[in-house]
Amino acid sequence: MVYCLKLVVIGVVTVPAVIVTFLIGLFDPHGKQVYQIGRFWSWLILRIGGVSVKIHGLSDLDPKRQYVFIVNHQSNIDIPVLIQSLPAFQLRWIAKKELLWVPLFGWAMWASKHIAVDRSNRFHALEGLKRARKHMKAGISLVVFPEGTRSTDGKLLPFKRGGFLLAAKTQTPIVPVTINGSGPILPKGDWRIRGGQIEVRVGEPLFIENYRPGSLRGLSARVQELIGKNLRPAFEFASEKKQQQPEPLGAAKSPIEKRTV
């Protein structure tokens, strides 16, 4: 009953947010204005779901520059979690084009100017790279889930090279980010959001001037190693959470009022 109530409230919040996002997005070339709506929506989703976030490592980032955030992926809740965990940055996702056809979510994704690519079409992938460069010049950072899909057991899946190619070609620092605890809160294939705490560990930026497209395998292995070091088994993280008081996500004030680059 509780899960159904949460779903209804999320639906009531999401539908008008998507409509407003779509309308404003028609006149927002880089999606900077509609991103504010997305931040507010993500804050509400976490509040409704009873999800708190504990963040480590933000002090290592420069809010005045752009990054490529490489992140492990366990759950659909990872997206609102990242939006709230990196408040000083305008974020855009690189995602498979099939997501554009998902009702509501796909429409908001298009209007927010996230980058949808056809992974099987090399020409389309190159066009996505051009769009990513334009976003970066406008002060936007990119988020890549290199596994390409959600892990069902919390372990890292093999990394795809697209995000690393983008970082190498644009000479943009990579930031490894590890999310712990999101899988049990909203498992793959489930619609029920369980309350709880998620931990986000932001690593130090990797400046990649010495990396070239031909050395992507080594770069990918290095980032995978850094993410894996901070990745904890679900049972270990759950045990630790029971011993700690969950830390609320920010103040009760809506994050739409916070400054965004």
- Number of other CB atoms surrounding residue 166 within 10 Å: 22
Q: 253: Cβ–Cβ under 8 A, 6 or more apart, which residues?
A: none
Least confident of 70-84, 89-103, 110-124, 217-231: 110-124
User: Please, which residues bridge with residue 71 across strands?
Assistant: 177
Place of tokens 């739409």: 256
pTM: predicted TM-score of the whole model, two decimal places? 0.86
State pLDDT tens for residues 11-21. 899 999 999 99
Phi-psi region of 196 (alpha: psi -120 to 50; beta: other; left: phi over 0): left
Write the CATH number for 243: 3.40.1130
Q: Mark 102-115 as b/e (b = at least 16 C-beta within 10 Å).
A: eeeebbbbbbbbbb
Tokens of 126: 């190159």
State pLDDT tens for residues 27-72. 998 899 999 999 999 999 999 999 999 999 999 999 999 999 999 9
Number of domains in the chain: 1
Q: How far apart are CA 78 and CA 139, in angstroms?
A: 22
- pLDDT of 81 > 50? The answer is yes
Domain that holds residue 12: 2-257
Q: How far apart are CA 75 and CA 187, in angstroms?
A: 6
Predicted local confidence at residue 257, as pLDDT: 41
- Report helix angle 122-137 to 162-170, nearest 10: 50
Burial class (CB in 10 A: 0-12, 13-18, 19+), 126: exposed
Contact 234, 154 (CB under 8 A): yes
Q: How confident is the model at residue 125 (pLDDT cuts 50, 70, 90)?
A: low
- pLDDT of 202 > 90? The answer is yes
